[in-house]
Copies of this chain bind each other. A is one copy, B any other.
Amino acid sequence: MENKILDEVTEIWISPENNIPKADELLALIKDKRITEFREAALRIPPPDMAGLFDGVPKEERVLLYRLLPKDFAAEVFIEMSAELEEELIASFTDKELSEFLSELYLDDTVDIIEEMPAIVVKRIIKNSSGENRSLINELLRYPKDSAGTIMTPEYVKLKPEMTVKEALSHIREVAIDKETVYTCYVTDDKRRLIGLVTAKKLMLSNLDTKLSEIMEDSVIFALTTDDKETVANKFNKYGFIALPVVDNEHRLVGIVTVDDAIYVLREEAEEDFAKMAAITPAQTEYLKTPATKIFKARIPWLLLLMISATFSSAILSYFEASLIPVLVLFVPMLMDTGGNSGSQASVTAIRGLSTGEVEMSDALRVLWKEIRVGILCGVSLGVVAFGKVLLVDRLIMNNSAVTLTVAAAVALALTATIIVAKIIGSLLPLLAKRIGFDPAVMASPFITTIVDAIGLIVYFMISAYAFGLTV
């Protein structure tokens, strides 16, 4: 474990004298009490990798290792750790240490930590924040779940339109240390309303005496505090920003979202969709670090639900069983699988379209029309192939005389109908889910498969019954 992380660190490091610190070297330095050397070496490890190293350190040595890190670096490492480890370390802090530690954090990171901690730890964190930060934290915590307000930070560079470039640069030099980014600075009026932005590049290239009002961009793309965080993250993807301002309903600037947080949201939302489409409750933890029982808990409710819902298929089979000829059963798996696959294709396309903002509710009819055409194309061509395949493989090659022309025709017809229905249901269910306020991704493949299975079986047996002149 330790060595694996180390190898990774080694791979991504370049250093002129090739003096890359190794984890065992770091621990040896601590044991030898060569603390200054340890700190120098530790600082050469990027915070996310340093956080990873903690997983390989015995529990009793973790607190010591953490305490020996330089304060500001320690804070950067802390925010990359798992919630469990964070809680463990916070428990080891005195109130004074906690207060000092919190002053090293950006406020959005503090809020991220708070959101993962039990109530008692949250109380301690808020109690030990400085007065001004405490009210800012409380404000950030009040924004609705998954809104822009929850991922923004109030720590940005705010400039006035009447400032000169020189004044702006010296203001940046004063405040930079506490700001998440200085590369995009925002210009506000007397009422704190956002009126423009100026990039550090522009400041660096402009004459020192120029007024900001002359060089600022006055058309600024922004987000509202209540906007969905995925919508906000999609703007970064579309426009290539490194920061986006967030305003309240009166257009007052209240914070910014930085590109690293946007990437995190994009990744997180995609992984959540992947999990839901595979009928898994999304988790925040890494797979390999998650105990089997926890993985079990994330998967079993859906399996159970889907298994029970397959009772419909059994019931349909049972209902038609007595009246039908046995050979028809042979083609049930093919019909079910192909219907399910057709439905998933349509549903995944719709779900991702909704997620990336390519497809909107108002596009429902266009989606429907497109999927009907695709469904007919797929259904007819697969129906023709299935007809030939049933006669050739099942009748001739496998020499099953029960497979008659009528059977082949019934299978082909049922397949065509099932595929068209599957495409329509597959594309419309996610849109319907969104409409009624459900998560479209939960309507994904497995659910659609279950519904399509049931419909496919009914269509198949009805067609067969008609073809063979049976009454059901």
On whether the beta carbons of B288 and A358 are closer than 8 Å, the reply is: yes
Query: Which of B182, B270, B334, B377 is A310 in contact with, Cβ under 8 Å?
Result: B334
Residue of B nearest to A242 (CB): B242
Beta-carbon contacts of A292-306 to B below 8 Å, as 1s and 0s? 110110011011101
Query: A393 vs B338: C-alpha distance in the bound complex, in angstroms?
Result: 28
On whether the beta carbons of B235 and A12 are closer than 8 Å, the reply is: yes
Residues of chain B within 8 A of A449, CB atoms compared = 337, 340
Category for how many chain A residues contact B: 35 or more
Within 8 A of B (CB), among A279-316: 279-280, 286-288, 292-293, 295-296, 299-300, 302-304, 306-308, 310-311, 313-315
On whether the beta carbons of B293 and A342 are closer than 8 Å, the reply is: no
Beta-carbon contacts of A15-54 to B below 8 Å, as 1s and 0s? 1100010000000000000000000000010101000000
On whether the beta carbons of A278 and B344 are closer than 8 Å, the reply is: yes
Best-surrounded residue of A46, A235, A341, A377 (most CB of chain B within 10 A):
A341
Known A176-B205, A366-B288: A342·B303 in contact at CB below 8 Å: yes
A260 contacts the other chain (CB 8 A): yes
On whether the beta carbons of A169 and B204 are closer than 8 Å, the reply is: yes
A166 contacts the other chain (CB 8 A): no
Residues of chain B within 8 A of A4, CB atoms compared = 362
Residues of chain B within 8 A of A308, CB atoms compared = 389
On whether the beta carbons of B14 and A194 are closer than 8 Å, the reply is: yes
On whether the beta carbons of B373 and A292 are closer than 8 Å, the reply is: yes
Beta-carbon contacts of A200-242 to B below 8 Å, as 1s and 0s? 1100110000000000001111100000000000011111101
A143 contacts the other chain (CB 8 A): no
Residues of chain B within 8 A of A200, CB atoms compared = 183, 200-201, 204
Query: Which of B288, B310, B311, B419 is A359 in contact with, Cβ under 8 Å?
Result: B288
Interface-located stretch among A64-72, A94-102, A133-141, A323-331 = A323-331
Query: A131 vs B104: C-alpha distance in the bound complex, in angstroms?
Result: 51
On whether the beta carbons of B366 and A292 are closer than 8 Å, the reply is: no
On whether the beta carbons of A330 and B318 are closer than 8 Å, the reply is: yes
On whether the beta carbons of A358 and B453 are closer than 8 Å, the reply is: no
Within 8 A of B (CB), among A368-425: 370, 373-374, 377-378, 381-382, 385-386, 389, 393-394, 398, 400, 419
Query: A460 vs B342: C-alpha distance in the bound complex, in angstroms?
Result: 26
On whether the beta carbons of A337 and B306 are closer than 8 Å, the reply is: yes
Ranked nearest first, the 6 interchain pairs of A and B with the lowest CB-CB distance are: A313-B333, A240-B260, A278-B348, A292-B373, A310-B334, A296-B377
Q: List 9 A-B contacts (CB under 8 A).
A: A173-B205, A183-B183, A236-B263, A242-B259, A267-B270, A275-B348, A293-B377, A315-B398, A344-B446
